[in-house]
């Protein structure tokens, strides 16, 4: 790697491949989006990869396409997560890395949320992460080695109208990850949180983004996840230019109101295009639907 590349912050792909070669890495929510892209890049880097997803048919197809292991798992059920990790170990060996990627993002006015979607969001986005961390750490700590990567969100640092439930869930993941990392460090287990901005997947279907709202491709997020596995850090944004969000809680309320109005973050998530978002909204409620192609938003 050249000095210029080092100074520019570009990833050292040779070092990444060396760090990941033959590592057993498990990715939840791996059938599509960030999870699938992360699994793809990990496999290309020489890791032994297994993906899990609640959609058994989709995870089977995704795994077959990549030539990796794919197993159905419900991250909200401890017995399912335990069985998933045990099956991975029986096929690939002891788990080196768990990427807790499974998650959903409901949008809309706070008073419109019903109990079903509120509970599903916290069951998947928070409880699923906690269960995954416990089940993985119980396997890693006795070996005094292991790495857990939790996919959080910049939304956990930037409170936004229309994202109240998601904001709270991802904020919980960020703080939980840092506390857990401090607790597990003496046991030889590292914990990282990756905070993507709004990712160009079905997650933002039906939302009218604009030039002020930075979005990111799933493969860009995946590249940062892979680099984080190779070179662990406590917290990293995707893209890294979003690191200013760490200072967001310090901004004066008047400044936050002005910024929300300028960027239209005060309304975008309150009034999504319901028809364009219908397939994703049905899927995150646990309804069986046919996936449709997702239009990339600018």
Exactly one of 6, 77, 122, 166 is catalytic; which is it? 166
For 3-240+249-284, CATH number? 3.40.50.720
Which segment of 160-164, 172-176, 206-210, 219-223 scores lowest on mean pLDDT?
A: 206-210
Which segment of 44-53, 79-88, 188-197, 239-248 scores lowest on mean pLDDT?
A: 239-248
Length of the chain: 298
48 in active site = no
pLDDT at position 179 over 70: yes
* Whole-number average pLDDT of the chain: 93
CA atoms within 13 A on the CB side of 100: 34
pLDDT at position 123 over 70: yes
d(CA 196, CA 235): 11
pLDDT at position 292 over 70: no
170 in active site = yes
Exactly one of 21, 23, 113, 170 is catalytic; which is it? 170
Domain layout of the chain by residue ranges: 3-240+249-284
**How much of the chain exceeds pLDDT 90, in percent?**
88
pLDDT at position 293 over 90: no
Report whether 27 contacts 101 (CB < 8 A): yes
| Nearest CA-CA partner of 93 in 42, 47, 44 | 47
pLDDT at position 4 over 60: no
Tokens read off for 49: 């990869």
Q: What is the pLDDT of residue 7?
A: 37
pLDDT at position 289 over 90: no
Q: What is the pLDDT of residue 294?
A: 35
pLDDT at position 73 over 70: yes
Q: How confident is the model at residue 8 (pLDDT cuts 50, 70, 90)?
A: very low
- Predicted model pTM: 0.91
């Amino acid at each position: 790697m050249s000095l210029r590349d080092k100074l520019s912050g570009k990833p050292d792909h040779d070092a990444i491949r060396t760090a990941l070669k033959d590592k057993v890495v498990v990715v939840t929510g791996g059938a599509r989006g960030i999870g699938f892209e992360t699994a793809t890049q990990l496999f290309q880097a020489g890791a032994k990869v297994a993906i899990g997803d609640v959609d058994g048919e989709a995870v089977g197809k995704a795994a077959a396409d990549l030539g990796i292991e794919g197993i159905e798992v419900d991250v909200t059920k401890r017995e399912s997560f335990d069985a998933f990790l045990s099956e991975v170990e029986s096929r690939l060996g002891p788990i080196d890395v768990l990427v807790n990627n499974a998650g959903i993002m409901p949008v809309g006015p706070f008073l419109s949320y019903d109990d079903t979607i509120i509970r599903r969001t916290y069951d998947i986005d928070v409880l699923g992460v906690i269960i995954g961390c416990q089940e993985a750490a119980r396997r890693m700590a006795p070996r005094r080695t292991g790495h857990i990567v939790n996919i959080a969100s910049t939304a956990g640092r930037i409170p936004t109208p229309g994202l109240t439930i998601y904001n709270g869930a991802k904020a919980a993941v960020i703080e939980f990850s840092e506390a857990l990392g401090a607790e597990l460090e003496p046991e030889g287990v590292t914990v990282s949180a990756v905070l993507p901005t709004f990712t160009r997947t079905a997650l933002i279907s039906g939302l009218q983004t604009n030039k002020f709202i930075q979005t990111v491709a799933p493969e860009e997020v995946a590249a940062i996840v892979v680099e984080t596995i190779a070179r662990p850090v406590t917290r990293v944004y995707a893209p890294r230019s979003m690191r200013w969000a760490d200072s967001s809680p310090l901004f004066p309320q008047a400044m936050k109101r002005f910024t929300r109005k300028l960027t239209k973050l005060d309304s975008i998530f309150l009034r999504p295009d319901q028809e364009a978002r219908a397939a994703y909204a049905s899927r995150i409620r646990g309804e069986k639907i046919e996936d449709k192609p997702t239009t990339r938003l600018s």
